[in-house]
Amino acid sequence: MSELEYQEGRTELDALGQVALINRLTDDFAPVNESTVKGVGDDCAVVGQGKTKTLVTTNTLAEGIHFDMMYTPLKHLGYKAVAVSLSNIAAMNGTPRQITVSVAVSNRYSVEALEELYAGIRLCCQRYDVDLVGGDMNSSRSGMVLTVTAIGEVDEEKIAYRSGAKLHDLICVSGDLGSAYSGLLILEREKVTYQANPNFQPDLDSYDYVLERFLKPEPRMDVVHKLAKSGVVPTSMIDVSKGLASELLHICKASDCGCEVYEERLPIDYQTTRVCSEMSQNMLPVSNALNGGGDYELLFTVNQKDYDKVKDMEGIHIIGHITEQGSPVVMVTPQNSTITLTAQGFRD
């Protein structure tokens, strides 16, 4: 049946959003193999029959959607394409081992450009002891599309699904939030200025941190190692790719619970605050943290018995707690009022 035959009564893609669309398309795919432990619906698929399970995840970055070549160095792009897939392995409390990379490019890219792209891919693989074991290369009518599949492993007793949060669990997040989106705002501002005046020379020296956070994010494998060293197994976990609010909603939906997080406990870097004040008097840093996305930090829950282990863990912030089934997902302000959170940064 052709696309034209679907025109009558059609549903537009943006009427659903990413997650709802995936759910609609995959609901009828029931596992038929005993080795399929977890299919669609988490940061990774989980497969295997032994005690050590295999994690598999795929991410695609498309030019004009996920990156703009006007301000994205190819080496950074290659690094980021790998990093965002490794982040999904980290979000399952696993260790990445291999990747495959598929690239579709138009003829406006040269061999030397692709060598620069793969230099970034190689750098990320070397940093995280990951092997490039395959992939594909295809042509594209316009732009570039990168797809990275990451393969990892995890002990079955240490897998952190989105669905494991329990009443009174503590909600923790690594690093800081909103900085990647702040970096994007700076780059977009400079792009507009350059387009208006090609002789313009941007001065980005004072924005190093937020720019790196957007252009070259890091999978938080260090957090996975810290938790393992302390004997802490998260009850649930997800990486912050679409903003804190969206990821909290994912965990609470999967775990059938609510949560409260406290605005004053959200970790926000001073550069993020400065960028917000430069952009608009009405732009609040907490909005970047909740809805900006692209930070690739780890959001996870732990049992209260692990409080003493995580409270002083460097780079880990306790920002709230899980509430009972049927409760809303809310943020508590310093004035003790509550704001119901919605996924505004990326519709899902």
Tally of CA atoms within 13 A in the half-sphere of 20 that contains its CB: 11
Would you call 135 exposed, middle or buried from its count of C-beta atoms within 10 A (0-12, 13-18, 19+)?
middle
- Whether the per-residue pLDDT at 5 is higher than 60: the answer is no
What pLDDT score does 347 carry? 40
Q: Residue 112: name the closest of 148, 74, 64, 63 by CA.
A: 74
- Cα Rg of the chain (Å, integer): 21
What CATH topology corresponds to 162-340? Phosphoribosyl-aminoimidazole Synthetase; Chain A, domain 2 (3.90.650)
- Whether the per-residue pLDDT at 8 is higher than 70: the answer is no
Average pLDDT of span 73-91: 98
How far is CA 169 from each of CA 160, 166, 214, 322, rounded to the nearest angstrom? 14, 6, 30, 5
- Homologous superfamily of domain range 31-158: PurM-like, N-terminal domain (3.30.1330.10)
Q: Which two tokens stand for residue 35?
A: 């080795």
- Whether the per-residue pLDDT at 13 is higher than 90: the answer is no
What pLDDT score does 7 carry? 63
Q: Which two tokens stand for residue 145?
A: 């599309």
How far is CA 290 from each of CA 181, 249, 283, 326, 331, rounded to the nearest angstrom? 11, 11, 12, 22, 10
Q: What is the pLDDT of residues 251-278, one digit of tens each?
A: 999 999 999 999 999 999 999 999 999 9
- Whether the per-residue pLDDT at 2 is higher than 70: the answer is no
The conformation of residue 41, written as its DSSP 8-state character, comes to T
Q: CA–CA separation, 296 vs 176, rounded Å?
A: 10
User: 11-15, 80-84, 216-220, 311-315: lowest mean pLDDT where?
Assistant: 11-15
Question: Does pTM top 0.85 for this prediction?
Answer: yes
Would you call 309 exposed, middle or buried from its count of C-beta atoms within 10 A (0-12, 13-18, 19+)?
middle
Q: Where are the domains of the chain?
A: 31-158, 162-340
- Whether the per-residue pLDDT at 292 is higher than 60: the answer is yes
